[in-house]
Amino acid sequence: MALWLQYFIVALAVLVSAGVVWKKQFPTSWRRSLSALALALLRRRSLTAQRLGRRLAPSGSAASAACGGCDNCGPAPTKRR
Domain that residue 37 falls in: 21-46
**Is 76 domain-assigned?**
no
pTM of the model: 0.58
Mind listing the pLDDT tens digit for each residue in 5-49? 999 999 999 999 999 999 999 999 999 999 999 999 999 999 999
74: helix, strand or coil: coil
**Is 41 domain-assigned?**
yes
Per the model's pLDDT, the better-predicted residue between 67 and 23 turns out to be 23
How many domains, in total, are found in the chain? 1
**Is 67 domain-assigned?**
no
pLDDT value of residue 70: 60
Q: How far is CA 22 from CA 13, 25, 27, 70, 74, in A?
A: 14, 5, 7, 16, 26
pLDDT value of residue 47: 92
**Is 31 domain-assigned?**
yes
